[in-house]
């Protein structure tokens, strides 16, 4: 599908495409109530409680006032709806602010102010410096004579470096006044979310025709939410507006992640529901039998001789209503509340603030904190995650000569410096490729100094190193590059740029020397993508050895090459290249195929080696987490030897003889199969031995393995604790995460760049590092941290505490509901199995909402062990990983405890009733006070660090219990004397005093 945008003529597209009104709202005023209720009642638990509440409206079967269920149900729904409404209102305010922002547009050849929401497709929009781009624009003109402008895309992709954008070649040199009158059409694809791609064509109408067809790329656009920087003005035609912009298409709510604890709670809820049905059926049958045999004989029961046809269902439905509290109605709200607090604890943790940058830890996902305590596999990127991503040019090999071996710094190598001074052809060509084959933009400051900005830290390192060796990249205009060679200015005309892709693994640039007219092809990339393209007859062995040598030292390597092109060869190729660039279908694939035709017969110039130091605390963090039983996989795009050296430095694997690396290599299916079988056999044999065994696999072998030998590789993944995967693509990273998840492992993926986003989103827990590559990974992640070393505290402290607290809270919620439900069931045996309730409606409604809620809320502060102890003894995490605090066996213990406590409370209740001849209301008070005090004991036993605040919570429950119940019971009377009299004559009061003494003793 295509879209045709007519420049400066929005009437043609006014009715076809949407305006620029942004709407991120989930609801409207009219649909909020029905839509929100539909969403809430789409959950099984809410449907269940709604059914129970509706059944309670039937007077014949309800044992209690319907308010006992309707009250909490409405309260919970109101809380959820209020939260949704507040969030949606904030989205509305944000949209309103953006929609009403004033922008300049051209209307009828005149520039005027309108609101951003009134911009339509086809309008020409004018931007001034520091203005925010209101919609997706194709640039038509800028204040720069060369048609350049600079934009900041941090709000779009998180990358903080300025990007260079350029107007299409058809618009070059156009007069400022003509921009108001420009007419033409842009043929572009329908809206999509790919912010790195825009395949379109531009045609201008007379009298503005420059050429018949002008291809457009993402470099000719400015996207919504970007900012214009270091440029006086720029203008462009709007091609996508409103929610059809690339940013708008990328918006959306990510799918919620189900934690292991949530999955277990769902299973336990299902088991309780089945148990409840069994109890209801058994008691319903017993109640009907007792009614027919005994109740009809008692005159005071007043059962009719004959009842309606549905009479058999009355008692079972009564018991269903009585037993409905087995599943606590408040558990979801309670869990959502405490999980939000767990996330806030991470945000507030001052020990996880990166002092160097002032970056704090952030929890974007408030629902999965407990999963941090159950992580079994960590899959990590290397560059920028384990390393600092501060690239430094260290060594090089030029023409087979190694530089920088003695002192480890090529920039201080006297032999290299002498070669530069003498103008050695090999060295100067090598430095030329370093200086110009890149996407770097030189920025000149007011004092005349030049700084370099670009998207690649490697390219910045190469350009800075070339400048230090007197080959300086001075200026970059639309198609002219200026290089300073030892004080001599040289200009190159940029003819074409063959951009880097993860498939080609190289970048090339076609230049024309402005002095002698020679056409040059310069290229740099990975050794595996450059060396095979060498000129026939050139010896590349020395360069391969250099790559191997530098990789063993943990350095990143790039091979540099060039060749001179014949003019006829270039002209013929450029026509094909232009045609491929103009394609709207499979443009990327066609361009790659055309690039391959030119990138051949290279003269290999040499190898550049770049150092990327490890971050502080990385080896210690990995060693500690490995002691905690967490396995590590390193996924990197670097070559094998570099990855292995970094892995050894990071304590991923022990050096020999304690450790062993098993290599999986091969270019064909048979080679990979044999290698995989050998490694798998070795892993099976050594699995029982106390050896640190890891396997190493590259991207090529991994692709074959995942396609043809997935089952064997899955077995290998289960057997191995450590893996080093090198030369992998972003999609392969995500595939590896998915593979481990199919093995039912809890996975955590951590990275810092845009190429890590797919891996981070695929994992159970995604962690992004706010690093030098920007914030794209941090924004896509569930948690963001400033440095890798904070991962230790995130898992061992916050993850473990969150799991412990959630495990206790969820089981405690079931316990207190089962406790009062079992008392009701026991009471049925002394009330003729009739389904009569022991407790009044107010007590039932307040039981979960008030009487037992405070200790639950205070439990979020519980710490069974100090943070220092947990950090020093990471093996403690084994209990969380194994799920030993929340599983069917632990829940069975809580189930048995609730049954035992119910029997104890019921016996005390019977004794109070028999000895005092109390009224039923007073008996229920005895039972409720017993429940509350027993739960206080449970909280004290299960909570290891029982704080003063938790003592106050228990007192608050007790006071609330007495105040609410006896004020309610005293309403028909009057005066405080009546209330105190009723209080003091209650058996439950004296029982509570006795239990209080035992509690504090």
**Measured distance CA(170)–CA(155) in Å, rounded:** 30
| Phi then psi dihedrals of residue 659, to 5 deg | -110, 160
**Measured distance CA(835)–CA(320) in Å, rounded:** 9
| Catalytic option among 161, 381, 612, 862 | 381
Query: CA angle at residue 257 from 256 to 259, to 5 degrees?
Result: 140
Q: By the 8 A CB rule, do 717 and 723 touch?
A: yes
Q: Count Cα atoms within 13 angstroms, Cβ side, for 434.
A: 32
Is omega for the bond preceding 192 within 30 degrees of 0, making it cis?
no
**Measured distance CA(723)–CA(714) in Å, rounded:** 12
Q: Return the SS3 of 219.
A: helix
CA dihedral (565, 569, 571, 576) positive or negative: negative
Active-site annotation holds for 752: no
**Measured distance CA(872)–CA(162) in Å, rounded:** 43
**C-alpha distances in Å from residue 646, one per residue of 612, 640, 689, 939:** 10, 10, 25, 48
Q: By the 8 A CB rule, do 650 and 385 touch?
A: no
State the virtual CA torsion across 285, 289, 292, 296 in degrees, nearest 10. Answer: -100
**Measured distance CA(907)–CA(827) in Å, rounded:** 10
**C-alpha distances in Å from residue 632, one per residue of 626, 686, 734:** 8, 18, 15
SS3 for 511-572, per residue?
EEECCCCCEEEEEEECHHHHHHHECCCCCCHHHHHHHHHHHHCCCEEEEEEEEEECHHHHHH
Give long-range contacts, CB 8 A cutoff, 24+ apart: 246-252.
246/136, 246/191, 246/192, 246/193, 246/194, 246/195, 247/156, 247/195, 247/223, 248/22, 248/191, 248/224, 249/191, 249/192, 249/193, 250/193, 250/195, 251/24
Helix H or strand E segment including 298: none
Buried b / exposed e over 636-658, threshold 16 CB at 10 Å, is: bbbbbbbbbbbbbebbbbeeeee
**Measured distance CA(39)–CA(80) in Å, rounded:** 11
Q: Which two tokens stand for residue 145?
A: 């004579």
Query: CA angle at residue 245 from 241 to 248, to 5 degrees?
Result: 115
**Measured distance CA(621)–CA(625) in Å, rounded:** 6
Burial of 1001 (0-12, 13-18, 19+ CB in 10 A): exposed
Q: Return the SS3 of 983.
A: helix
Is omega for the bond preceding 737 within 30 degrees of 0, making it cis?
no
Angle between helices 699-708 and 730-742 (to 10 degrees): 40
**Measured distance CA(454)–CA(159) in Å, rounded:** 10
State the virtual CA torsion across 75, 76, 80, 83 in degrees, nearest 10. Answer: 50
**C-alpha distances in Å from residue 229, one per residue of 124, 150, 164, 301, 980:** 19, 5, 10, 86, 75
Q: Return the SS3 of 320.
A: helix
- Catalytic (active-site) positions: 381
């Amino acid at each position: 599908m295509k879209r045709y945008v007519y420049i400066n003529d929005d009437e043609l597209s006014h009715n076809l495409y949407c305006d620029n009104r942004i709407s991120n709202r989930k609801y409207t005023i009219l649909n909020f109530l029905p839509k929100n209720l539909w969403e809430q009642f789409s959950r099984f638990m809410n449907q269940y409680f709604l059914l129970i509440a509706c059944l309670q409206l039937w007077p014949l079967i309800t044992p209690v006032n319907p308010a006992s269920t309707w009250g909490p149900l409405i309260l919970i729904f109101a809380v959820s709806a209020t939260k949704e409404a507040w969030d949606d209102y904030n989205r509305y305010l944000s949209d309103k602010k953006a929609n009403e922002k004033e922008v300049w547009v051209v209307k009828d050849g005149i520039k005027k102010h309108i609101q951003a929401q009134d911009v339509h497709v086809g309008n020409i929009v004018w931007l001034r410096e520091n203005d925010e781009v209101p919609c997706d624009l194709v640039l038509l003109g800028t204040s720069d004579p060369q048609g350049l402008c600079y934009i900041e895309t941090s709000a779009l992709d998180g990358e903080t470096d300025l990007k260079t954008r350029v107007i299409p070649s058809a618009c070059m040199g156009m007069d400022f006044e003509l921009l108001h009158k420009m007419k033409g059409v842009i043929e572009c694809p329908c809206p999509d979310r790919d912010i790195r791609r825009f395949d379109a064509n531009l045609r201008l109408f007379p009298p503005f025709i420059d050429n018949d067809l002008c291809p457009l790329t993402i470099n000719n656009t400015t996207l919504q939410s970007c900012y214009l920087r270091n440029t006086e003005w720029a203008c462009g035609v709007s091609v996508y507006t409103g929610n059809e912009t690339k940013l708008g298409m990328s918006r959306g709510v990510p799918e919620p992640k189900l934690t292991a604890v949530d999955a277990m709670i769902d299973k336990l809820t299902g088991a309780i529901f089945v148990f409840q049905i069994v109890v209801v059926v058994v008691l319903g049958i017993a109640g009907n039998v007792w009614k027919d045999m005994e109740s009809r004989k008692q005159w005071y029961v007043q059962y009719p001789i004959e009842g309606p046809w549905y009479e058999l269902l009355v008692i079972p439905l009564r018991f269903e209503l009585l037993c409905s509290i087995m599943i606590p109605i408040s558990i979801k709200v309670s869990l959502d509340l405490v999980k939000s607090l767990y996330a806030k604890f991470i945000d507030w943790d001052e020990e996880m603030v990166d002092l160097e940058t002032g970056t704090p830890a952030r929890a974007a996902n408030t629902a999965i904190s407990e999963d941090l305590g159950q992580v079994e596999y960590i899959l990590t990127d290397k560059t920028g995650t384990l390393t600092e991503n501060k690239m430094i040019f260290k060594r090089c090999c030029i023409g087979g000569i190694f530089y920088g071996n003695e002192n480890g710094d090529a920039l201080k190598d006297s032999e290299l410096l002498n070669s530069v001074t003498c103008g050695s052809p090999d060295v100067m060509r090598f430095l030329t490729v370093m200086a110009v084959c890149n996407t770097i933009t030189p920025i000149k400051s007011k004092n005349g100094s030049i700084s370099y900005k670009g998207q690649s830290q490697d390219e910045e390192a190469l350009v800075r190193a070339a400048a230090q060796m007197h080959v300086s990249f001075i200026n970059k205009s639309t198609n002219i590059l200026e290089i300073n060679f030892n004080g001599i200015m040289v200009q190159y005309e940029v003819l074409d740029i063959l951009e880097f892709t993860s498939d080609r693994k190289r970048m090339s640039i076609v230049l024309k020397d402005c002095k002698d007219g020679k056409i040059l092809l310069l290229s740099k990339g990975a050794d595996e993508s450059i060396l095979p393209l060498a000129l026939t007859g050139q010896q590349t062995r020395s360069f391969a050895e250099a790559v191997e040598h530098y990789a063993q030292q943990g350095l990143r390597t790039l091979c540099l090459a060039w060749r001179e092109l014949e003019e006829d060869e270039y002209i013929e190729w450029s026509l094909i290249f232009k045609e491929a660039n103009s394609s709207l279908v499979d443009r990327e694939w066609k361009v790659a195929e055309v690039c391959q035709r030119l990138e051949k017969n290279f003269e290999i110039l040499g190898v550049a080696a770049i150092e990327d130091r490890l971050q502080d605390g990385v080896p210690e963090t990995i060693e500690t987490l490995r002691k905690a039983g967490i396995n590590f996989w390193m996924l990197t795009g670097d070559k094998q030897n570099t990855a292995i050296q970094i892995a050894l430095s990071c304590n991923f694997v022990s050096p020999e003889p304690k450790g062993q690396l098993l290599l999986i290599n091969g270019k064909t299916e048979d080679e990979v199969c044999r290698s995989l079988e050998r490694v798998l056999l070795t892993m099976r044999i050594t699995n029982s031995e106390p050896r640190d065994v890891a396997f190493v696999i590259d991207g090529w072998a991994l692709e074959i393995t995942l396609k043809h030998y997935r089952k064997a590789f899955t077995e290998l993944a289960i057997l191995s604790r450590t893996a080093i995967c090198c030369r992998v693509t972003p999609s392969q990273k995500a595939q590896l995460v998915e593979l481990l998840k199919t093995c039912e492992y809890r996975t955590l993926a951590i990275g810092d760049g845009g190429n890590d986003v797919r891996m981070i989103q695929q994992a159970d827990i995604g962690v992004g590092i706010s690093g030098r590559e920007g914030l794209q990974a941090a924004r896509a992640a569930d948690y963001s941290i400033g440095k890798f070393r904070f991962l230790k505290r995130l898992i061992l402290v916050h993850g473990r505490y969150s799991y412990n607290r959630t495990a206790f809270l969820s089981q405690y919620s079931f316990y207190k509901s089962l406790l009062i439900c079992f008392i009701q069931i026991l009471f049925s045996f002394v009330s003729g199995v009739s389904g009569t309730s022991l407790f009044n409606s107010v007590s039932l409604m307040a039981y979960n909402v008030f009487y037992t809620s405070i200790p639950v809320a205070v439990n979020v502060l519980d710490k069974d062990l100090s943070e220092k102890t947990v950090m020093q003894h990471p093996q403690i995490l084994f209990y969380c990983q194994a799920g030993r605090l929340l599983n069917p066996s632990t829940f069975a213990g809580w189930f048995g405890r609730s049954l035992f406590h119910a029997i104890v409370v019921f016996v005390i209740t019977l004794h109070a009733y028999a000895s005092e001849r109390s009224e039923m209301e007073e008996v229920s008070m005895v039972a409720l006070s017993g429940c509350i005090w027993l739960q206080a004991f449970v909280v004290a036993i299960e909570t290891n660090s029982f704080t003063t605040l938790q003592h106050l919570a228990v007192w608050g429950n007790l006071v609330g219990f007495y105040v609410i119940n006896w004020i309610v019971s005293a309403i028909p009377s009057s005066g405080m004397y009546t209330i105190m009299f009723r209080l003091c004559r209650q058996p439950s009061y004296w029982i509570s005093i006795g239990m209080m003494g035992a509690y504090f003793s």
